[in-house]
Amino acid sequence: MARTIIPFGPQHPVLPEPLHVKLVVEDEIVLEAIPALGYVHRGLEKLAEIRDYHQMIQVVERVCGICSNIHSMCYCQGIEEIMGIEVPRRAEYLRTAWSELHRMHSHLLWLGLFADAFGFEALFMQFWRIRERIMDINEATTGSRVITSVNIVGGVRQDLTPEMCSWILSELDTAEKEIKEIQNTIMDDYTVCHRTKGVGVLTKEQAYELGAAGPTLRGSGVASDMRLLKYSAFDKIDFEPIVETAGDCWARSTVRFRETLQSVDLVRQALAGMPQGDLAAPCKGNPEGEIITRVEQPRGECLYYIKGSGKKFLDRVRIRTPTFANVPPLLAMLPNCELADVPVIILSIDPCISCTER
């Protein structure tokens, strides 16, 4: 049988973002995959030349809408470390709570899209219905559903009242109950298992060697999670990385599903342990020095390298996003799979082209 090259993307019904993969197939079996990026590259790192280090918070939030809060948190942490600013404890707890809410809505969004990818529209709608609760919390507490803009250098700009905290906790109770109600469907349903178990396998060794990040790495049995670095309030929060060992699409989706429930617990812990105090420490002067800072985004480890030379414009802001790290592992998952499984495998890394094309 002759080999054929099938272009997957950049526009594809299952993936609304422009990722292009050239698939070399024989019959309907994929032999090789070659990626192409750059369709929507925005050069946001270059903007550091004309946006001062405070304005860059708004820029990094737009690297990715879905994890905007965690991007700004990572960036602010870096600047604070360079400038020696001690962030008030209350602000750290607030950052932790908002970042876990962001993880929840990102995972619920992805779980819905994943269900949609194999034609399970009812499940897709259930996940997105639950996600609306989290979006409502974001809107009520920060004024915005997606790009919350609460992080500033030195702390946060919004506070939570006791009434807000109890309302958030009651919403999370309901969300947790609703998520558990569909647990059997996403993890044990025959059709879901048939489309995901044993599909797109990435072994533990491959995941590690190819630099996978986040649920893609943990779904292959590696217990790596940047929250173990105990940034923000994670030093006072009980937390264990969620790990699955099968390395297939099912394992990656199960990690995300379980992390959604874990985030409910982490938000509860953050709200319960939040002390009284200031929201932000004063920020004077300009950053001078260089720093590497890492956080765990919904899609995995995010790394910022920041270099300043005492001016209001930074010399360099380098952003390594998790999807960028997960492209080489994706190229290892695709060979020998069936053509029909390609959309499911690609979605299983939770690709964010907005992050990749920052």
Partner 1 sequence: MIENQIDITLESLVGEVSKMKSDGQRMVTFSCTNIGEGQADIIYHFDKNEVLTNLRLTVNMDKPVPSISGVYFAALLIENELQDQFDIKFDGLVLDFGRKLYLDDEITIVPMCNNTKAMKIKK
- What residues line the site for partner 1 (CB under 8 A)? 34-38, 41, 43, 45-47, 49-50, 81-82, 208-211, 224, 226, 228-229, 289-292, 294, 301, 303, 305, 307, 315-316, 318, 320, 324-325, 327-329, 357
State which residue, 167 or 208, has the beta carbon closest to partner 1: 208
CA 195 – CA 190 distance, rounded (Å) = 9
Name the minimum Å distance from CB 324 to partner 1: 7
Supply the DSSP string of 76-126, one letter for each residue. HHHHHHHHT----HHHHHHHHHHHHHHHHHHHHHHHHHHHHHTT-HHHHHH
Task: Select 210 or 264, whichever has its Cβ closest to partner 1.
Answer: 210
Identity of the residue, 1 or 50, whose beta carbon is nearer to partner 1 in the bound complex: 50
Task: Using the minimum distance from each CB to partner 1, give the nearer residue, 123 or 212.
Answer: 212
When the beta carbons of 207 and 249 are compared against partner 1, the nearer one is 207
Encoded tokens for 142: 């920060």
Contacts of 129 (CB under 8 A, 6+ apart): 178
User: Residue 326 Cβ, how far from partner 1 at the closest point, in Å?
Assistant: 10
Structure-block tokens of residue 64: 């990715």
Closest approach, Cβ 305 to partner 1, in A, equals 4
Write down the residue that tokens 């590259």 correspond to. Answer: 41
| Minimum CB distance to partner 1 smaller for 81 or for 178 | 81
Cβ 224 to partner 1 shortest distance, Å = 7
Q: Which is nearer to partner 1, 275 or 310 (CB)?
A: 310
In 3D space, the residue among 111, 125, 124 whose CA is nearest the CA of residue 350 turns out to be 111
| Residue 45 beta carbon to partner 1: minimum distance, rounded to whole angstroms | 7
- CA–CA gap between residue 160 and residue 132 (Å, rounded): 20
N- to C-terminal Cα distance for the chain? 40
Strand partners, 306: 291, 317
Nearer to partner 1 among residue 50 and residue 122 (C-beta): 50
Reply yes or no: is the peptide bond before residue 10 cis, omega within 30 of 0.
Answer: yes
In whole angstroms, what is the distance from residue 290 CA to residue 305 CA?
A: 7
Tokens read off for 353: 């082209």
Nearest distance in Å: CB 331, partner 1: 8
CA-based angle 317:64:118, to the nearest 5? Answer: 140
Residue 231 and residue 94 in contact, taking contact as beta carbons nearer than 8 Å: no
Q: Min. distance of Cβ 327 from partner 1 in angstroms?
A: 6
Burial profile 265-303: b = 16 or more Cβ within 10 angstroms, e = fewer: ebbbbbbeebeeeebbbebeebbeeebebbbbbbbbbbb
Q: How far is the CB of 5 from partner 1 (least distance, A)?
A: 15
